[in-house]
A = this chain, B = another copy of it.
Amino acid sequence: MGVTIKDVARKANVAPSTVSRVIANNPKISAKTKAKVQAVMEELGYYPNVNARNLVNNRTNVVGIIMPSVSYAPFQNPFFPEVLRGITAQANEKKYGLYLSTAQTDKGILEEVIEMYYSRRVDGMILLYSTVSDPIIEFLLDKAFPFVVVGQPPEALSGQVSYVNNDNVKAAKMVTEYLLLLKHERIAFVGGREEAYVTLDRKKGYIEALEEAGMTPDDSYIVHHDEIFEGGEQAVIELMSRKHPPTAMIVMDDLMALGVLRMLFNMNISVPNEVSIVSFNNVLMAELATPPLTTLDIHIHELGYRAAELLQKRIADPEAPAEKRIISHKLIRRETSAVYSGERR
């Protein structure tokens, strides 16, 4: 098989334990033997067997990434590769490994999490999704196992759960205020699943902004759609058939905004001349759209990076109280938003 610690020990004329100490950089080892052992390790091409090491340490230096079930609509969203990149960057810096969940159903994911936990495969987990009630979070909490969720955890547990998220209320409020300043008077809100926290929070910010501007939010300008792309198309149909169609739309997601854009294009309604669009996320696609989308960058990469960072902290000290990290956002003005200048149609 491979070169073991014993082979190194023999060749260096020391005990295996000494070699182990050299690997661990134990301070109480003489510079001389250290050098000698390292030379032999080099010569023999020694690499520690992680399985043996994990076994005795009861620690793996690997974190599990829990993906949402495929039935979760936004799965195809570029959001995931991007958080993953953020996580990857941090993991690489800190020499952590990444283990990916493969289950495709909610039930399967729960089982996989349980298995990961009991089989001691990982030191902690990052949950890439958030639902209102979640047996997985309850399980992990019950076991006091380190984990971090990307997004908003269930309200009732949010005090006990570490998470990274944006301030979605504030973000949506800012977007709404921006459109207000652009003189829009009828601003529609195109949400995702009605129970999703992202949608809930952003709707709240939207309403706050309207009210602070002395306007009364009108429910008929608020629609919800689950399907990431088609939802955008349907929203347009609904909204544009109002007696007084909106002059601006706030759309939950860039991909959804693409659906909006396309339907508007089909209806021969010009963006941004007749209708302004502002969406969220700023994935690559937002920039590539025609016209390029004005969108709120939620710094997805950083979301992932910070989640990984926070998880490490929890692994180092699992007893510490839960923490949250709020990631900043930034409005990226591109070509789907403009000053509203009276009726055009």
Contacts and interface: CB of A to CB of B under 8 A. Distances in A.
B288 A118 contact: no
How many copies of this chain sit in the oligomeric assembly? 2
A102 B98 contact: yes
Contacts of A85: 70
A313 to B, nearest CB: 19
B1 A58 contact: yes
Contacts of A49: 55, 119-120
B50 A120 contact: yes
Interface in A87-124: 88-89, 91-92, 96-100, 102-104, 108, 114-115, 118-121
Interface in A29-81: 45, 47-52, 54-55, 58, 60, 62, 65, 67, 70, 76, 78, 80-81
B121 A288 contact: no
A214 interface: no
Contacts of A48: 119
A266 to B, nearest CB: 9
Nearest to A1: B58
A76 B284 contact: yes
Contacts of A258: 288
A261 B265 CA distance: 15
Interface in A188-234: 229
Contacts of A287: 229
Contacts of A80: 81
B47 A118 contact: yes
Contacts of A108: 92
Given A48-B119, A290-B262, A88 B76 contact: no
B52 A55 contact: yes
Contact of A100 (B88, B114, B285): B88
A255 B288 CA distance: 8
A92 B47 CA distance: 30
Contacts of A285: 285, 288
A4 to B, nearest CB: 11
A323 to B, nearest CB: 24
A56 B62 CA distance: 20
Contact of A104 (B54, B89, B98): B89
Interface of A: 1-2, 45, 47-52, 54-55, 58, 60, 62, 65, 67, 70, 76, 78, 80-81, 84-85, 88-89, 91-92, 96-100, 102-104, 108, 114-115, 118-121, 229, 255, 258-259, 261-262, 265, 284-285, 287-288, 290
19 contacts: A1-B58, A45-B118, A47-B115, A48-B119, A55-B55, A65-B100, A76-B81, A76-B284, A78-B78, A78-B81, A88-B100, A89-B104, A91-B102, A97-B99, A229-B287, A255-B284, A261-B290, A265-B290, A290-B290
